[in-house]
Amino acid sequence: MSDETVKYLLSESDIPTHWVNLLPDLPGDPVPPLNPATMEPAGPPDLTPIFPMSLIEQEVSPEPEVEIPEPVREVYKLWRPTPLYRARRFERDIGTRAHIYYKYEGVSPAGSHKPNSAVAQAYANQQAGVRSLVTETGAGQWGSALALACRMFGLECLIYMVGVSYDQKPYRRSMMETWGASVLRSPSDTTDAGRAQASHPTGSLGIAISEAVEVAAGDDESNYALGSVLNHVCLHQTVIGQEAMAQIPEEPDVVVGCVGGGSNFAGVSFPYVRRVLRGEAKTRFVAAEPAACPTLTRGAYRYDFGDTVGLTPLMPMYTLGHDFVPPPVHAGGLRYHGDAPLLCGLVKAGVIEARAYRQNETFEAAVRFAGTEGIIPAPEPAHAIRAVFEEAEAAKQAGEARVILLNLCGHGHFDLAAYDAYLAGELEDPEFSEADMDAALARLPEDVPAIA
Amino acid sequence: MSDETVKYLLSESDIPTHWVNLLPDLPGDPVPPLNPATMEPAGPPDLTPIFPMSLIEQEVSPEPEVEIPEPVREVYKLWRPTPLYRARRFERDIGTRAHIYYKYEGVSPAGSHKPNSAVAQAYANQQAGVRSLVTETGAGQWGSALALACRMFGLECLIYMVGVSYDQKPYRRSMMETWGASVLRSPSDTTDAGRAQASHPTGSLGIAISEAVEVAAGDDESNYALGSVLNHVCLHQTVIGQEAMAQIPEEPDVVVGCVGGGSNFAGVSFPYVRRVLRGEAKTRFVAAEPAACPTLTRGAYRYDFGDTVGLTPLMPMYTLGHDFVPPPVHAGGLRYHGDAPLLCGLVKAGVIEARAYRQNETFEAAVRFAGTEGIIPAPEPAHAIRAVFEEAEAAKQAGEARVILLNLCGHGHFDLAAYDAYLAGELEDPEFSEADMDAALARLPEDVPAIA
């Protein structure tokens, strides 16, 4: 048999039994979130109104591994282990000697990596006796994942969907409703936060988070669920990197992914990052983000709120300002003003390198990928594919072989309007300006401590 | 480990090396298509203007197995072998002791089983030196598959898309264009057939076939590709049933699938049908079709054209009349006036049982399936899921255990408008009336021989 196509499959018994917790391996003391009223580290009492204790414990766990509950692994088995491919056709098409591998998370029913955490969160809340989960969604990937997960564990699910996405992506809404979720357009008139933002009818992720947190905090039987940013969400995603490590037949020189809130990047990279932090490997890491929302490459490393209104603890992260509303690029999952604190710390420490890309160059890369590997990528991982192009080109210039591991975190079946615009030459290329940066800095919360 | 979710995976080396050809096992003499001008059996000279000789040979092959070319298997490896699942959550939800297994073909990049034949056809045409393939598509599944396959083998691809689908499903069009295909709205002004049907602006599959055949027949460097109905298309799909046979841990009592042109049903069932025809098994077969286009359950078993205008040979099949335009049900892939002659012969012989279902009852089944197994089915296999319900219920009434194999031939990511309408209670339930039947019979071609 020839080896034109090579994919690496695992059996169900190879689904990881533990999540990888990077916290104990990080250099220096942990940098905690702060209660904005006291500027003291936020503790369990700040979080119990919206999260179950088991997730709070995961958020601050000192253990290097956290066991995956068996009922969560059972749901994972609906689509995990996900396949790892060697992208030979793509390699040939772009004329590289580099070996490119991609882990494909789009095989989940919701179409992305998001259910890895949604299922874990729904289970934890069900075990805590919670009746309903409330969340926000932008592009719809997270909302779809949580709708699915709640259906699997018999929870109700209420989703505040960013207004512009609600209008532009009715099929994502239908998907959530098919799995039994209720979907409201944000800003809505169901919350104080929503009513206060009625003058921004297109909404934003930050506004939708404010609405969801408000509802969860005000209802004893409801909790909130966040699809990225927090430690426990990054933790849940590490099944991706662990599986990839078991599948890939050679050691990757560089691990590449896209970053919005950071969860898929954390998922593929943290098992490898741990080896680097322990001095066991010299893997490089490249985080790709949109030039229109360049948090890691241009943001300030500061304490800032996770939401627009300021209901969340202050998080230590690269931020463009909590009320920054990014331009409407199609990679809706990357339109967030901050990033996971864990990831930000690793960027600050020089372990992870960040790069920003314009919208058109990412779609150019995605169309080329689709034409060789078949899969049509979501606009978010299209950024990572652009970075793979660059890595392959750099390897060629350096006369090096290079092994690249890419996380292809979702398919683009609900993003074809964006492909349509790209193919018609009608896709805009917004970029974050110096004026945007000045305005962002001016809006950061004052009187917050520097990050230690 | 508990066994709440069980899926059966195969390795790439388990992808079948041969397709199963049912022709030599059929009882009696073969029933050939006829040249409508002479009423003599249509031979290679009738087909060479639009098909390469290797596919014509497959169409009439006397060999029980046909070798799959290695380059075709290499492309199959992008998504094959596809998983087989035991639907335990669904079983529990509907309260059955039956064991329900489903083969999931939606993991292909195009989202259905269609690439199994598209890849084989694109390869055969590339080997024959053809520059371009021309085809039609209704719901878009076949067009997407052929666009992908042509891209893989460096062929141009021109697709006539049924007008109403072109308007309602722009994202399927974008998908085909992302893979480099050209898509025209049918009826178009680029063909005589299209111009003659300008008074039917919504188009139909029959009209689009007429346009594509006309273009292919009139261009030496272009060929036509059909996504169902013909023997060689059914042949290519038999990888489904062969894999399922290798995966399923117990012998199925009944194999269930949906039928439009018949290719996915042929694919899952023919390897099992052969064992029945050889007296080696007693498997039952249930073909599910829409009540709005009830070809197998209400059609006449007659020679009829495959297209609206009458450009194709006369095919021996159950037909509602070649110019019947089915109501616009969302299962666009099932809106065809005829069916694969191989399949029709097996229905006539009593080997396969056909049942027709209303639109709303199929979506009810599909939503229940999505809520337990996660995958959102396309409207076409939703008909098969409805039939699985009935089989499970019949087993309960009979106090029997029953093993059911379902072909879940595609996902519903491009059909969520239909789910939206169903959930809103706005889905219509068109049915084929007695008047429709009378009109259909009156329109059948006259002076054709009876089927022997």
Tokens (6 digits) for A410: 């979702």
* CA-wise closest residue to A409 among A255, A183, A193: A255
Distance CA B308, CA B207 (A): 5
Task: Work out the percent of chain B whose per-residue pLDDT is above 90.
Answer: 82
Tokens (6 digits) for A222: 């409801």
The pLDDT tens digits of the residues spanning B65-88 come to: 999 999 999 999 999 999 999 999
Name the minimum distance, in Å, from the CA of A220 to any CA of chain B: 26
Largest CA distance in chain B: 66
- Mean pLDDT within B182-188: 97
Q: Note the pLDDT of residue B88.
A: 94
Show Cβ contacts of residue B389 under 8 Å, excluding neighbours closer than 6 positions. B94, B365
Low-confidence winner among A240-254, B153-167, B223-237, B324-338 (lowest mean pLDDT): B324-338
Is residue B226 scored above 50 in pLDDT?
A: yes
Residue A377 carries which DSSP code?
Answer: B
Low-confidence winner among A328-332, B53-57, B230-234, B343-347 (lowest mean pLDDT): A328-332
Contact B107 A107 (CB under 8 A): yes
Q: Note the pLDDT of residue B27.
A: 87
Question: Best interface-test mutation with B: which of A11, A88, A171 has the largest number of B CBs within 10 A?
Answer: A171
Tokens (6 digits) for A49: 């109104």
Kind of pairing between the strands at A403-408 and A254-258: parallel
- Mean pLDDT within B432-440: 86
> Which of helix, strand or coil describes residue A168?
helix
Q: Note the pLDDT of residue B211.
A: 96
Contact A375 B9 (CB under 8 A): no
Show Cβ contacts of residue A382 under 8 Å, excluding neighbours closer than 6 positions. A258, A331, A362, A363, A365, A366, A369, A412
Strand segments, DSSP code E, in B323-439 are: 353-357, 403-408
Name the minimum distance, in Å, from the CA of A77 to any CA of chain B: 6
* Contacting residues of B for A78, CB less than 8 Å apart: 5, 7, 85, 373-374
Q: Note the pLDDT of residue A7.
A: 83
Greater model confidence, A329 or B285: B285
**pLDDT band at B331, cuts 50/70/90?**
confident
Q: Do the Cβ atoms of A16 and A68 come closer than 8 Å? A: yes
Alpha helices in B399-431 (DSSP H): 416-423
Show Cβ contacts of residue B64 under 8 Å, excluding neighbours closer than 6 positions. B20, B21, B24, B25, B274
Reported ipTM exceeds the 0.90 cut = yes
Is residue B1 scored above 50 in pLDDT?
A: no
Name the minimum distance, in Å, from the CA of B372 to any CA of chain A: 7
Q: Do the Cβ atoms of B240 and B105 come closer than 8 Å? A: yes
Is residue B163 scored above 70 in pLDDT?
A: yes
Q: Do the Cβ atoms of B374 and B297 come closer than 8 Å? A: no
In DSSP terms, A315 is beta-bridged to A304
Contact B78 A374 (CB under 8 A): yes
Contact A74 B107 (CB under 8 A): no
* Contacting residues of B for A7, CB less than 8 Å apart: 12, 77-78
**pLDDT band at B168, cuts 50/70/90?**
confident
Model confidence pTM above 0.90: yes
Show Cβ contacts of residue B166 under 8 Å, excluding neighbours closer than 6 positions. B173, B183, B185, B186, B203
Q: Note the pLDDT of residue B275.
A: 98
Q: Which strand (E) or helix (H) includes residue B66? A: strand B65-67
CA B325 to chain centre: 18
Q: Do the Cβ atoms of A354 and A296 come closer than 8 Å? A: yes
Question: Best interface-test mutation with B: which of A67, A68, A74 has the largest number of B CBs within 10 A?
Answer: A74
Nearest CA in chain B to A153: B372
Residue B313 carries which DSSP code?
Answer: P
Name the minimum distance, in Å, from the CA of A352 to any CA of chain B: 31
Q: Do the Cβ atoms of B122 and B422 come closer than 8 Å? A: no
Contact B77 A6 (CB under 8 A): yes
Kind of pairing between the strands at A156-162 and A182-186: parallel
Is residue B3 scored above 80 in pLDDT?
A: no
Distance CA B279, CA B275 (A): 6
Q: Note the pLDDT of residue A252.
A: 98
Burial of B27 (0-12, 13-18, 19+ CB in 10 A): exposed
Nearest to B371 among A9, A151, A416 (CB): A151
Distance CA B93, CA B369 (A): 9
* Contacting residues of A for B9, CB less than 8 Å apart: 9, 11-12
Q: Note the pLDDT of residue A27.
A: 87
- Specify the residue for token string 């092994």: A403
Distance CA B359, CA B352 (A): 22
Ranges of residues in chain A whose predicted pLDDT is under 50: 1-2
- Mean pLDDT within B383-397: 96
Nearest to A413 among B413, B417, B420 (CB): B413
Contact A5 B78 (CB under 8 A): yes
- Specify the residue for token string 């490997």: A281
Distance CA A152, CA A145 (A): 11
Q: Do the Cβ atoms of A258 and A334 come closer than 8 Å? A: yes
Q: Note the pLDDT of residue A3.
A: 61
Measured torsion, CA atoms of residues B197, B199, B203, B208, in degrees rounded to the nearest 10 = 10
Q: Note the pLDDT of residue A95.
A: 93
- Mean pLDDT within B140-156: 97
- Mean pLDDT within B314-335: 89
Contact B5 A375 (CB under 8 A): no
Q: Do the Cβ atoms of A320 and A328 come closer than 8 Å? A: no
What long-range pairs does A180-185 form, CB within 8 A, spacing at least 24? A180/A147, A180/A150, A180/A151, A180/B371, A181/A143, A181/A146, A181/A147, A181/A150, A181/A151, A181/A157, A182/A156, A182/A157, A182/A158, A183/A143, A183/A159, A184/A158, A184/A159, A184/A160, A185/A161
Low-confidence winner among A139-143, B28-32, B35-39, B242-246 (lowest mean pLDDT): B28-32
* Contacting residues of A for B173, CB less than 8 Å apart: 420
- Mean pLDDT within B310-326: 91
**CA distances (Å), origin B450, targets A43, A422, B32, B229, B446:** 83, 54, 12, 20, 11
Is residue B358 scored above 80 in pLDDT?
A: yes
- Mean pLDDT, chain B, rounded, equals 94
Distance CA B144, CA B171 (A): 11
